[in-house]
Structure 1
Amino acid sequence: MAKYGFGLDLGGTTCKCGLFTNEGELLDKWEVPTDTSNGGVNILKNLAAAVKEKMAEKNISADDVSGVGIGIPGPVSGDGVVNRCVNLGWGVFNVEKEFSDELGGIKVKAGNDANVAALGEAWMGAAKEYSSSVMVTLGTGVGGGVIINDEIITGAAGAAGEIGHIRVNYTEEMTCGCGNHGCLEQYCSATGIARLAKIRLAMNEDESGLRAIPTENIDAKAVFDEAKKGDVVAKEVVKRACEYLAQGLQVISAVVNPEAFVIGGGVSKAGQILIDEVEYRFNQIAFHGCRNTKIILATLGNDAGIYGAMKLIL
């Protein structure tokens, strides 16, 4: 009976790797550099070598391995086909089949990295007591994953959970990275919050601790740090970002009605101030049947992806 599995969280710079028991105990974790040269042709070879090396080190045979799960930064269909990963150089191919071949036939399951992180939080993190949850990752961009009845909702083209591209402002003139205007990502990502702060500071000469920071160095952390000290301008920026986030969450809640929203990513390190602001605004605008949705902080941090990748194969 297989006892172990591997969870891999593949990024453009490194791949986080975890060796787990089938019960979800993390036994070991390490990182492998991502070789994106030549269209990422060596990525799966390198990861297979790293998994085999760990199996040899721990004296684990192929029969002892349930499988290898992998989270990928791009759309992945239910049958394991990757549909272009720009920052890896990948086109369209069946990653599950190719990776399994590299591993000598060990079972492989693949999923979008944000969906997989959501699954990790649902399995062993903040949402483990809920069967339906939506994870919202506030990082350089805004990503997400939808878990309903313990299953990832991937959508027809693997694009379900692209929460960052819900349109929340119809008057925005700046273009989002996706080519549209007024996406949630433009206001609630780390870069979005910094942008809101710079716009607000340019509006007038109001006193603010943020003015002591060179404009190019203003980031989301600085905004939240100043807001916690009571800085009026920073508090306004936090309020605005949280209004947009609450708007996005109320749309999602009316469609899938999860038990909980799990807020993760670098911006979530702001902590309770973020949760309190979003919760207050969400409860003002959400449909009455959705207002008891919990809004909670993620707990697995950077390990959510490897936990979720492991859960894919179980």
Structure 2
Amino acid sequence: MLKNLIGIDLGGTTTKMAFLNEEGEVLDKWRILTDISDNGSHIVENIIESINKHIEEAGKTKADFIGIGMGTPGAVNSERGTVSEAYNLNWVDEQPIRQLIQDGIGLPFDLDNDANVASLGEYWKGAGSAEADVVFATLGTGVGGGVIANGKLIHGVNGGAGEIGHITVEPRGYQCTCGKQGCLETYASATGIVRLAEDMTKDFRGTSRLKELINGDEKVTSKLVFYLADNGDILANQVVDRVCFYLGLALSMIGNTFNPASIIIGGGVSNAGNTLLQPTTKYFQENAFSSVRDSTKIKLAELGNDAGVIGAASMALQFK
């Protein structure tokens, strides 16, 4: 008899959860607010309560499920099943997540970094589903990623594999929260794009709606920068071109290292669509080794906000 899977995508504001079947079809999905008060001590208990309630309301029992997977911010220790340094969850110290959830729900549980888990989602059911070698880059508040080689997620010796956001694209460039300078994250994240726009405005002498908004201390977002670029704003187009240059350069380094079938761009910034994809692909091709340029494709993610729960649920298949 086919059983179901449970996926959890833990975020700093909301926690998304879903029931899926073994083929990766979402059967039911919902979300709860992530309560980070009291050092995040309510987060896991709220997840346990919500899942147990949904199992009961669906008329199912634990026997109907194979297991649970979860994507989480922070540093994940896969062996111990713990999370630490998840500052947006107020989890500074190591949290024994696996033990707590297994005890609270009674199903086997595994977890991984949220960017890795989103990459598993796109690999299983999204833009990389026909390929064994895929790299995922997620552009949101920060820049993360995941590397899948020969069907296996690569973690590295200390869990640092896939840290695409910390590829240096501008030596001695913007200061990054990681302590380095010039990381991709400081230029291609949602916040990085706005910072770049503000800096480029200082030297721009022409007429531009983007310049008017920035000089008038109006709220500017990365989404607005791409919108203005789409509508012919010269400064906005210059900003987008610079962002895509840095992104294409970083992706060419990844391509030259791994030569995956696809490099998939996801996260909120990827909603810019072809305005982001086309110039990024151009700069990727300019900087990639010829055999990589001819074989590695740059694609947009397909699963949107569901990538996390789908990728998390795929981790539970190991418990079959």
Kept after mapping to 2: 8 A contact 1:36/1:43: yes
Out of 233, 256, 259, the residue aligned to residue 258 of structure 2 is 256
Structure 1: tracts of 5 or more residues without a match: none
Using the TM superposition, name which of 300-309 and 87-96 deviates more: 87-96
Residue 77 of structure 2 aligns with which residue?
77
The structural deviation recorded for 1:180 is 1.4
Residue 298 of structure 1 aligns with which residue?
301
Determine whether 1:239 maps to 2:241: yes
| Per-residue deviation, residues 196-254 of structure 1 (Å, max 9, x unmatched) | 11111111421112134244422212221222223222211111111111111111112
Kept after mapping to 2: 8 A contact 1:18/1:29: yes
Residue 289 of structure 2 aligns with which residue?
287
Distance 1:193 1:294, change over 3 A: same
1:1-314 equivalence runs, <5 A:
1=1, 3-79=3-79, 80-90=81-91, 91-104=93-106, 106-172=107-173, 174-213=174-213, 214-291=216-293, 292-314=295-317
Kept after mapping to 2: 8 A contact 1:77/1:157: no
> Amino acid of the residue matched to residue 252 of structure 1?
I
Distance 1:247 1:281, change over 3 A: same
For residues 218 and 75 of structure 2, the distance between their equivalents in structure 1, rounded to whole angstroms, comes to 32
The structural deviation recorded for 1:154 is 1.6
Structure 2: tracts of 5 or more residues without a match: none
> Amino acid of the residue matched to residue 313 of structure 1?
A
For residues 197 and 6 of structure 1, the distance between their equivalents in structure 2, rounded to whole angstroms, comes to 41
> Amino acid of the residue matched to residue 5 of structure 1?
L
Kept after mapping to 2: 8 A contact 1:78/1:154: no
Kept after mapping to 2: 8 A contact 1:16/1:306: yes
For residues 2 and 108 of structure 1, the distance between their equivalents in structure 2, rounded to whole angstroms, comes to 19
Using structure 2 for the length normalisation, give the TM-score: 0.93
In the alignment of these two chains, the number of paired residues is 312
> Amino acid of the residue matched to residue 152 of structure 1?
L
Using the TM superposition, name which of 228-237 and 246-255 deviates more: 228-237
For residues 156 and 94 of structure 1, the distance between their equivalents in structure 2, rounded to whole angstroms, comes to 21
For residues 224 and 42 of structure 1, the distance between their equivalents in structure 2, rounded to whole angstroms, comes to 38
The share of aligned pairs that are identical, in percent, is 44
Distance 1:193 1:32, change over 3 A: same
The structural deviation recorded for 1:94 is 3.7
Using the TM superposition, name which of 203-212 and 137-146 deviates more: 203-212
